[in-house]
Amino acid sequence: MRIIFYGTEKCSTDFLELLVNKENVVAVTTQPDRPSDRGLNIQPSPVKTFARKKNLLVFTPEKLSDRTFQTSITNLKPDLGIIVSYGKILPKEILNLPAYKTVNVHFSLLPKYRGAAPIQWALINGEEVTGVTVFFIDEGMDTGDIILQKEVTIKPQDDAISLEDKLVQCGLQLLEETLILMKNKKIEPKPQTGEPGYAPMLKKNDGEINWSKKSTEIYNLIRGTKSWPSAWTRYHSGKLLKILQAKPTSFDFAESGISFTPGQIVGIEKKVGFMVGCGEGLLIVEQVQPEGRKPMSAWDFLQGARLKVCDKIGTHPI
């Protein structure tokens, strides 16, 4: 089949590679080059870099309504459009252009977690099961009819990076099955059912830790924001500290007779890190990244940060 691929993120390249090996990819559409490395350099998307290596035709339109772009796509006479983490909503004129329309590989069990960050929000919300959905794109946001769907278990140790890896492998399998069904004209799309949920793009402030929450909730935030923006707090009157690795405990302070306020350092474990009191339970912090520095063990951080038991971190009120 003659395929037009739409993708931007690193995970999208796995799907493009599959299609290059098995189908006829007539063009790739990806986001325009953007600043990276703190805005010092303009970089192409991972998909553009991969597509160039494969000598594929690449489009990077700022606006999908651009007439020149739409004419170019039309002249290619595609059979199918495939979207994986592209980052823009396609207009109706482009969606309906291919003979078999346009499908999306989405990393959730739709209608749950519609939107740009389904992996992250599933982890932040403490879900134990998520999955992948292949569906026909319509004019809504992830609202089209479902072609295939498969569950994936979320393990307690999964974070945004490890879970994405598992979902990509599941998605590759479902996309292959979808292509086979299309070629054999056995597609039986079904409308989405159930209560919809949404997963908006994460903002930096979404990573701020509220120490009055349960330690398990804070741990889920750390897992879900692993790639970006990371879970973070402040110390020493405003210095930013990312919490990269930690584990929750359900220590019962009421029985121990120890009193604390959320965000207070309640203990230090030599060669490991420090323990922070939460609204319920405590969090053992194991790896951090101070602002402007590289990741380091929480123990190494303590040696220079001059934090001690009973010191308070964070900005949220009790």
Residue 193, in any domain of the structure = no
pLDDT at residue number 188: 97
Residue 192, in any domain of the structure = no
Helix or strand (DSSP H, E) at 284: strand 282-290
Residue 259 has pLDDT above 70, yes or no: yes
pLDDT at residue number 80: 98
Number of domains the chain contains: 2
Render pLDDT for 177-190 as a digit per residue (tens, 0 to 9): 999 999 999 999 99
Distance CA 279, CA 288 (A): 21
Question: Which CATH number is 88's domain given?
Answer: 3.40.50.170
Residue 127, in any domain of the structure = yes
Confidence of residue 317 (pLDDT cuts 50, 70, 90): very low
How confident is the model over 137-159, as a mean pLDDT?
96
Strand partners, 214: 280
Distance CA 129, CA 248 (A): 20
Render pLDDT for 181-232 as a digit per residue (tens, 0 to 9): 999 999 999 999 999 999 999 999 999 999 999 999 999 999 999 989 999 9
One domain for residues 208 and 80: no
Helix or strand (DSSP H, E) at 22: helix 12-22
Residue 287 has pLDDT above 50, yes or no: yes
Residue 248 has pLDDT above 70, yes or no: yes
Q: What share of the chain is helix, strand, coil (3-state, %, to 5)?
A: 30, 30, 45
Which residues constitute the domain of residue 161?
A: 2-183
Question: Which CATH number is 265's domain given?
Answer: 3.10.25.10
One domain for residues 122 and 230: no
One domain for residues 210 and 163: no
Distance CA 161, CA 193 (A): 29
Distance CA 99, CA 203 (A): 38
Tokens 């490991």 locate to 272
One domain for residues 232 and 175: no
How confident is the model over 12-16, as a mean pLDDT?
98
One domain for residues 45 and 171: yes
Confidence of residue 53 (pLDDT cuts 50, 70, 90): very high
pTM of the predicted structure, to 2 decimals? 0.94
